Amino acid sequence: MKPVAKKTSPSRATPAAKATAKTKTITTIKTTASTRASTRASATELLAALRAAHPDAHCELDHGSPFQLLVATVLSAQTTDVAVNKATPALFAAYPDARALAAAPTDDVEAKISTIGMFRQKTRNITKLATMLVEKHHGEVPRTLDALVALPGVGRKTANVVLGVAFGVPEGVVVDTHVQRLSQRLGLTTETEPEKIEKVLCEKLPREVWDITSHTLIFHGRRVCFARKPACDTCTVSALCPSAFVAEEVGRKPKRDRGEPEGSAKNATATTKPATKRAASAKTAKPNANAKTASAKTASAKTTAATRTTAAGGDARPKKPAKTAKKPAKPRAATRGAS
């Protein structure tokens, strides 16, 4: 009979090998995107195609005045526009302008926006903001970037939203997470920091489209070019996109999995765990060591006492306690018929 060959199971890739393979994949994707970018459309052509795909692009924060837009934008930090739009109707009905909000009780404002994240900090920001508008700007929203960013809770992004949407005079392109991601995927920039991305977009696009650019990119990011699994197969601008069909790893921070290379934060944590256990064991061992030390001291004291007793002519052995005398037995009762 022929010997049966043993089946060998395929060897599993080590975590380090998986991490290396993933790094190579990301590098390949970026190289492909870079190659396609050499023949990419101009920023103006891309924006025109995107505007045709999203003709209804606009600021999705509900507001009825520049002041309400300013407050809503401050509230939208690390919160969705949907959540803000659910909270602001009651807030704006009670406090429609800066003077009303500046005089509002803190507890009532907190209660009206308690459904959004960091509502206590945001309550302080919008009430202080309203007070400053009343004291320094007669209750009106200023129209310059410098004056806006001086208000509590207002940064460059919030200021440009107000300047662009409320007044039509933006001093830059609003770069949120969607704009940041899509700018890289569309090949508009290789920068990763919002400030640098804004500078590149402002250089490539005319000022009159700065405001609509951010709204259009945000619409596309929310509806088509998702962070995970972008819908490249249904995207109307995929023919112009250098990252089409390989976009998922572009414009995003690389995810960390279980196969982390050496030196990563996870491995550093894993490396410190045994040390932590050793430290805990050492702490547990300290009471035992102290107990042993105390026992040794007690034994030493006993030995010293015994030595002194022997030197004085006494018995070094500890004396046993004297036995107590037994109680005498009770006499038995006399038996019947005794003489």
The catalytic residue positions are 157, 176
Query: How many Å apart are CA 197 and CA 186, to the nearest integer?
Result: 12
Query: How many Å apart are CA 206 and CA 221, to the nearest integer?
Result: 22
Taking residue 243's Cβ as centre, other Cβ atoms within 10 Å add up to 27
CA angle 29, 187, 240 (to 5 degrees): 95
Query: How many Å apart are CA 39 and CA 213, to the nearest integer?
Result: 22
Taking residue 48's Cβ as centre, other Cβ atoms within 10 Å add up to 16
* H helical segments located in the chain: 15-37, 43-53, 66-75, 81-94, 98-102, 106-112, 119-137, 145-149, 156-166, 177-185, 194-204, 210-223, 265-311
CA angle 320, 325, 329 (to 5 degrees): 150
Q: Do the Cβ atoms of 66 and 161 come closer than 8 Å?
A: no
Residue 263 DSSP one-character state: T
Rg from Cα positions in the chain: 39
Q: Do the Cβ atoms of 164 and 170 come closer than 8 Å?
A: yes
